[in-house]
Structure 1
Amino acid sequence: MQNPADDNFEPPPMSDALLDDETLADLFRDLRAATAIDEIVVKASPGRAEHAPAATLADAEQLLRDRAVRGVQIRYRHEGACWWDTLMPAPGGVRLVRIRHDL
């Protein structure tokens, strides 16, 4: 990882999208089929206990569909890169912010 103080620092590529129910289902299907999951981090809603640290993809998907969390971050490896997908319930669907970290 580059040092931000370095004059040549470039932040990792990032993308942002709003997912509808069908696209969210497609994302989780792709994650199950084509990635190596490193970690799933769940941020609970206010007044709700933190979810178990060993959340599964099925847990994460259901929590997002139920709008029972502030967000979920899924860290995984795919095609030689590390990806961090942050998913947050939003008006009209689920917001996805994706960052790629080259290995």
Structure 2
Amino acid sequence: MNIYRLLISCPDAHGLVAKVSQFIFERNGNIKEAHHHLNEQNKHFFMRIEIESNLACSFTEFQQEFAQLAQKYQMNWQMNDASKLKRVLIMGSKSSHCVADLLHRGHESEMEA
């Protein structure tokens, strides 16, 4: 099952969590995980949501429709397919134990990369 990750940052406004959650619900998405935070100093809102891919529309359609909501609230946002493995570069110093640990974790599928 695909998992999509939605990252949002925008000026704070009442009901942001509800608006985004409702948007996902209306498209048959299931919120697997969600975190949000408000920076009190500059009143800036941050949110990270993982959505199961039970969407009633395509990934591209979801993004296009979400762009309309994002524009209304001046959101900076990005959405990606979290089920796709990330390409990584592992670099290390002369001490080999750190690199060896990372390589071992990769071999044992303990890293999502």
TM-score, shorter chain, exceeding 0.5: no
**What TM-score does the superposition give when structure 1 sets the normalisation length?**
0.30
**What TM-score does the superposition give when structure 2 sets the normalisation length?**
0.29
- Whichever structure has more strand as a proportion of its residues is 1
Bigger Rg, structure 1 or 2: 2
